[in-house]
Structure 1
């Protein structure tokens, strides 16, 4: 008797199974939201150094161009400022006139000023995670992902040791299996050394499957999270980008079920990975910048 036939004899998808799957789906939805939360809680607004104080003048009285060098896009640089105000950059009418390329600059010793935009209050603005401290933003995401790795490993092992229970058969159902038949089908084998983790590499066949599945999961996750966790790098509105990611994911899941049913798991998995790889390689030839 196959596993599918056994499930069918036991009653198939009952109220318990539906409740179990629904209860499991709720934390999974929350987990997906938390995985991508840093796109918004750690968004980087446009910023520049806080200008050096000028004697007998307020910050509003000093044009930004005399305190902050501009980049090639005619925007204030994010991580440098002039050591001394460059008043000669102003024309006689007070308008900006270029950038002092030879003037001495220094890091932002007095902090940064963040411009109003999509992001106004994030962990970046709260702790100044920009310029030399920008890597701490990635550290925060890495700590979160390390927690997921630890939790998955720990609770994965715990989930392999649930309390056993045999369901009772319905006497009114002539097709139901009696408890004695269930006990004969479900035989408890003595635990092997190393537990469930060691079972993944115990035999050559299991080692091949485990290595293959791990490689596929790593490749898929590396490509997906590399894109999904850096929506700001696309240069578009992050909220719209996130909406597109979510909207595409739903029909993709449904289409994958259809493709696997028609072509088989191996061909569907290999084809999707090859297509994703070709898209990533083709992105090398797409010019960056707006013009």
Structure 2
């Protein structure tokens, strides 16, 4: 744990760190909205079956409807229908002969062609086999609509363009029998995140944080830009899966670089800052989606800036801590001297020689001679317990968060308002999490926020849909509690994992969290059996980790471990003595 002595010499929070944090915050600001993009690109507009007599305007004006009307008019003249329909049919014929498909005429054609659901709205997945003209009778006589034969939407659907001009739902008709494909499209991105967290975590420990972050940002830009032009749903899902795969390489390395370049007392603050930047990106996503209603244009608006991000990342510094533990001390020394110059401590940087570095980090350099395999994470008891417990907590943290964030249409009708409120609440929530960690500690803070999150989700479950204001308030509070819990979990996890395997272990823990994120949209399929069941499961997954997190060690005011041996040396009975022996002065953060 000797690196922080070198970092104190060159400056633990100076101009160098501020520029690093600023760039990584910009990275999170641009990248994180891609996780929630399908709230708008995959939104399902109000829809109904295609009605040939109404929606085929050319055929209608050419007289294709005349036969229907003429037949019913003949029935009227023969006395088969009541005389009260005369006015309706006469109005329909007058509108047809005048060539004007008025709203009055369209309303009548919809009424006789599409049945109503239990809420007295047009059915979205069924239509009458034959027009039910008797439904136009003002006294409601004639055949009951519920007895009339219906059929699926054999000719396609008509979508309401008032909210979204186009989405992947309208492009590939992901409604009715194909509605589950919407969840699969969201699942493909989460599945990519699931695999990418583990793969790029290992690659980051092997090849460096900066290199993996740069190339993942380029691959993400290519995949997301290509998704806007996908000709088939399968191609779109594959590209989104690749995007999810790469996004973890960007986000994980962003937080790791901040942790490894920042002084101990500012590490939690640095992680909170990047999460705050992601929250601002989430907040602006609602505003941008409100202005851009076409899904392909919205996809490009968020994809093209990633190419600029890739080109700008060449000035990002590699982690000196990682370079030293990876047995590349010369490069690590060069990065430390660069940080000293930018922080106005050039003399301290010049005084920092290879002999000083080797003497300070002798134990870490000896451990770096043999690169620990991934199996070492589970070979020693303390490390194994930490990985398993962190994975459990992260899985249960991510499931309710993405359950709320990815299903805005299940919470209310105004998805733009929800997105804006969810982004706005995470800013004070992250500050509340930071404050709670500094006052209560890492473990009690997570437990508190998780219990509050589960309570908010349970309350949402039993609030009627017509009480929109209360649902909006509870949903917003739930996202705030969830965001605070995740921020505490990220900071706690990075403080528990040693430098030599930090990215690999973070990738494994992130993989567990991404399993929870991937399960979240799949649970919505259970809403077909009970609309409350998915939300009850989200609530249960919030209560369970509030107990599990208490089994992890507290890390407030503790220096970061650099090797697995550092983790194994920690014993509950010797914590107090180690804190007294530590010569590093820390603050409450």
CA RMSD after TM alignment: 2.9
CA apart distance, 1:102: 0.8
**1:206–1:269 CA distance, 2 compared to 1 (3 A):** same
> What are the residue-to-residue correspondences of 1:191-270 with 2, within 5 Å?
191-192=370-371, 195=373, 197-270=374-447
Instruction: Indicate which of 106, 111, 129 corresponds to 2:156.
Output: 111
> What are the residue-to-residue correspondences of 1:48-59 with 2, within 5 Å?
48-53=48-53, 55-56=65-66
Q: Which runs of 5+ in 1 are unaligned?
A: none
CA apart distance, 1:52: 4.6
- Contact 1:48–1:76, Cα closer than 8 Å, also in 2: yes
**Structure 2 partner of 1:74:** 120
CA distance in 2, matches of 1:22, 1:211: 33
**Structure 2 partner of 1:167:** 333
The alignment's TM-score, normalised by the length of structure 2, stands at 0.45
Which is helix-richer, 1 or 2?
Answer: 2
**Structure 2 partner of 1:19:** 19
**Structure 2 partner of 1:143:** 188
**Structure 2 partner of 1:184:** 359
- Contact 1:65–1:96, Cα closer than 8 Å, also in 2: no
Q: Which runs of 5+ in 2 are unaligned?
A: 54-63, 69-95, 209-322, 338-344, 469-589
- Contact 2:377–2:387, Cα closer than 8 Å, also in 1: yes
CA apart distance, 1:208: 1.4
**1:276–1:135 CA distance, 2 compared to 1 (3 A):** same
- Contact 2:10–2:348, Cα closer than 8 Å, also in 1: no
SS at match of 2:379: coil
**1:234–1:283 CA distance, 2 compared to 1 (3 A):** closer
Q: Which structure would you say has the larger RCO, counting Cα contacts within 8 Å and 6 or more residues apart?
A: 2
CA distance in 2, matches of 1:67, 1:3: 74
**1:13–1:92 CA distance, 2 compared to 1 (3 A):** closer
SS at match of 1:119: coil
The alignment's TM-score, normalised by the length of structure 1, stands at 0.88
**Structure 1 partner of 2:530:** none
CA-to-partner distance for each residue in 1:50-76, whole Å, 9 max, x for gaps? 125464368955621111110121111
Q: Which moved more, 1:3-12 or 1:249-258?
A: 3-12
- Contact 1:9–1:175, Cα closer than 8 Å, also in 2: no
CA distance in 2, matches of 1:24, 1:96: 68
CA apart distance, 1:266: 0.7
**1:174–1:290 CA distance, 2 compared to 1 (3 A):** closer
CA apart distance, 1:152: 2.4
SS at match of 1:261: helix
